[in-house]
Chains A and B, each alone.
Chain A
Amino acid sequence: MTPLVRRPGEASTGGASALEINGVSKRFGDFLALDQCSLSVKPAEVLALLGPSGCGKTSLLNVVAGFERPDQGSVAFDGVPIDQLAPNRRGVGMVFQNYALFPHLTVAGNIGYGLRILKLPSGEMDARVAEVLRLMKLDRLAERYPYEISGGQRQRVAVARAMVTHPRILLMDEAFSALDRNLREAMQLELSLLLRGQGITTILVTHDQKEAFTLADRIAVMDHGRILQVGGAEELYRRPGSRFVLDFLGASNRFKIARLSAEGDSLHLEAEPGIACCMPKPPSGGYGDLLWLHVRPEDLRLSACATAVHRDAPATVDFVTFQGSVRRTVLRQGERQIIADLPDDAPVPTIGAAVFLDFDPQRAFLLEE
């Protein structure tokens, strides 16, 4: 497949980031939308900005696109600052949440809009529109108007329109949230293949952890205008740096640590009630302020008798729900609620039974909060 999009790495003077965001802050009145955000995106990388609504992810995208001017900080493409450039001179492609297709133009007209501005020879323009129509499986819809096509097709048109001008970077703002679940997952997979096949540097904004996992090489988790942690999906999920990242990426059970002591390379800890285990020492920093032990629901197993990590104070099975891939089991231990996602081929726990928890300490983690 010939790349539709110029690979930013090829154009740059070797090794530079495709996009570099440096200490960007933006304030709207009293509201600090962006607080010293720094981020770099490698050529052909897909990076997700993940966070709840109002966390500043869309503001950051707008700063990159040039729709918002940051109060502080700067943005550079391929090592060249672009802060002074108007949005139409930045060479970004943008896919909007509501797609923002021009209602008065046909599918082909929408896709050709950016090419007409480039003043390409009409033969080349038609060829490029035809190519992207084929790539996005829109050939038969070229002469339709946006109101005549389905939501999924509109999204394809929006992506096609943003890609056809060969942007340096593709920006996607919640581009899947308007689709229903099955279509959304299919489109995510399809787009993921496309972006990788074409090597398009992409930033996508989403509040959906699954979308970020499906599409992104790296994820930047944002909250209150700050970038909290940047990393691969597995790294963020398995080694969250903060309670916020932990919770945003999935459910977790936390146990308050009563005693913590170091023995060589490992930590010995006792968490209430009745949990005791040995864990590898964190690679850096102290551990004195690590007060909570966290275990993901899918890492918990149940046992009728005491286990290596749970010796007394058994929990009671409250109820069990079937969720398809797992059996979500809610346990009660005094006032505390514990959630365990058991494989559906494991024995179904009896409601009211007293059970002990079991987990692999390697998969648990320690946090201050």
Chain B
Amino acid sequence: MHSTPGGTASEVASRWQRGRTLLPREPILLLLPVGFLLLPFFAFPLAILLRNSFFRDVDAGLMAPDFQIGNYAKVLSDPFYLTCYLNTFGMAVAVAALTLILGYPFAYYLVRFAKSSRIFLIWLIFTPLTVSIIARTFGWIVITGDAGLLNSVLIALGATDQPLRILFEVQGMTIGMLHRYLPLMVLPIVSSLMKIDGNLYRAGRALGASGPHVFWTVTVPLSLPGIIAGTQLVLAAVLSDFVLPTLLGTTKFRMLAPTIYEEAVGRFTWANASAMTMIMVILMFVILLAVTLCLRRYAPWSRAL
């Protein structure tokens, strides 16, 4: 057999093959690493949560094993909890709408007109993601507080006599959420706008459409998948947000995540908290599924983009 410095040709070949077996023979095994994380630390706790939601809270602060839907009945009928859900959903829809209004023009400018500034603008939208949410929140507190930067400037300019109540109100929480979740809206829209062939704009113009007409009949429909993805991300994020309602918001406008936390940690009503959580998880799943199905039904082309 022909011999080479590294061994015989067949030895080299088999070593080469062994090197390539880093890829598993069954592609499904590629899911294993993530599975190790998700199964014990996500799916299993969720199953426990589901089980707990049918248990019964007892005064001692423990749960009695049971199988009853009393927790669900209570959460879905008590005005306190219902308000909490309504507030949270209203907030989610409002933040999604506002981030869309703020983010779409930005994304459109970034994709269609920014040339040398594109990298900078993408970096700008990414910065909130690079700073710890706690640090950012304290930044917002300094700016929006009664004696904060914003109110000082407004009073100095004579725009107002009294400081505006922003911090520890819905307004403060909204500002914080807009800042925090804007990237989640902008990035999917940017990616769907980037996929639009530039000749489509020209085709529209050649067919007699004005610039705004092309925008509304070509650009917006074709960026719909990005708008939907961004909206889903922002909805999911606001629905589960704990930090901003707690640090910037008010207990007069109750949000879901802090309320669940209070139920579990303050009042030790674990079963009730579990039911609240399950309702939120199910609602979120239903919304995401409904939106996806609508897109598939009314925009069948979106899967072929």
| Residues of A bordering B, CB below 8 Å | 65-67, 86-94, 96-98, 100-104, 113-114, 117-118, 145-147, 161-162, 165, 171
Contacts and interface: CB of A to CB of B under 8 A. Distances in A.
B290 interface: no
Contacts of B305: 103
24 contacts: A65-B202, A67-B202, A87-B206, A88-B209, A90-B206, A94-B202, A97-B199, A102-B200, A102-B204, A102-B222, A103-B304, A103-B305, A104-B218, A104-B221, A104-B222, A104-B299, A104-B301, A104-B302, A145-B300, A146-B301, A147-B301, A161-B203, A162-B206, A162-B207
Given A104-B222, A147-B304, A92 B213 contact: no
Contacts of B202: 65, 67, 87, 94, 96, 100
Nearest to B303: A147
A98 B208 contact: no
A118 B204 CA distance: 13
B199 A96 contact: yes
Contacts of A89: 208
B301 A117 contact: no
Interface string B201-226: 01111111110010001100110100
B205 A86 contact: yes
B197 interface: yes
Nearest to A171: B206
Contact of A93 (B197, B206, B224, B300): B206
A114 B209 CA distance: 7
A138 to B, nearest CB: 17
Interface centre among A88, A93, A161, A171 (most CB of B within 10 A): A88
B168 to A, nearest CB: 45
B115 to A, nearest CB: 13
A165 B300 CA distance: 27
B211 to A, nearest CB: 8
B217 to A, nearest CB: 8
A65 to B, nearest CB: 6
A114 B207 contact: yes
Nearest to B299: A104
Given A102-B218, A104-B221, A117-B213, A87 B205 contact: yes
A166 B210 CA distance: 18
B38 to A, nearest CB: 34
A171 B205 CA distance: 13
Contact of B208 (A100, A114, A171): A114
A93 B299 CA distance: 27
Nearest to B206: A94
Interface in B83-118: none
The range of chain B's interface size is 20 to 34
Contacts of B299: 104
Given A93-B207, A104-B222, A104-B302, 11 more contacts: A65-B206, A67-B202, A86-B210, A87-B202, A88-B207, A98-B197, A103-B304, A104-B299, A104-B301, A114-B208, A146-B301
B213 to A, nearest CB: 7
Given A103-B304, A145-B301, A147-B301, A88 B205 contact: yes
Contacts of B208: 88-89, 91, 114, 117-118, 165
A175 to B, nearest CB: 12
A84 B228 CA distance: 39
Nearest to A97: B199
Contacts of A171: 206
A320 B294 CA distance: 64
B220 to A, nearest CB: 10
B112 to A, nearest CB: 15
B197 A100 contact: yes
A161 B301 contact: no
The 7 closest A-B pairs by CB, nearest first: A114-B207, A147-B304, A100-B199, A94-B206, A87-B205, A100-B203, A117-B208
A104 B299 CA distance: 7
A276 B209 CA distance: 64
A116 to B, nearest CB: 9
Interface in B214-264: 217-218, 221-222, 224
Contacts of B217: 113
B209 A117 contact: yes
A145 B302 CA distance: 11
Contacts of A86: 205, 210
A32 to B, nearest CB: 22
A67 B224 CA distance: 26
A147 B301 CA distance: 7
Contact of B203 (A66, A91, A96): A96
B226 to A, nearest CB: 13
A94 B203 CA distance: 7
A367 to B, nearest CB: 39
A98 B218 CA distance: 17
B202 to A, nearest CB: 6
Interface string B179-210: 00000000000000000010110111111111
B207 A100 contact: no
Contacts of A147: 301, 304
Contact of A103 (B206, B210, B222): B222
A184 B277 CA distance: 61
A260 B39 CA distance: 91
A147 B300 CA distance: 10
A321 B217 CA distance: 55
Contacts of A92: 206
B113 to A, nearest CB: 16
A165 B199 contact: no
Nearest to A67: B202
A2 to B, nearest CB: 22
Contacts of A118: 208
B209 A100 contact: no
Contacts of A98: 197, 199
A88 B301 contact: no
A130 B300 CA distance: 24
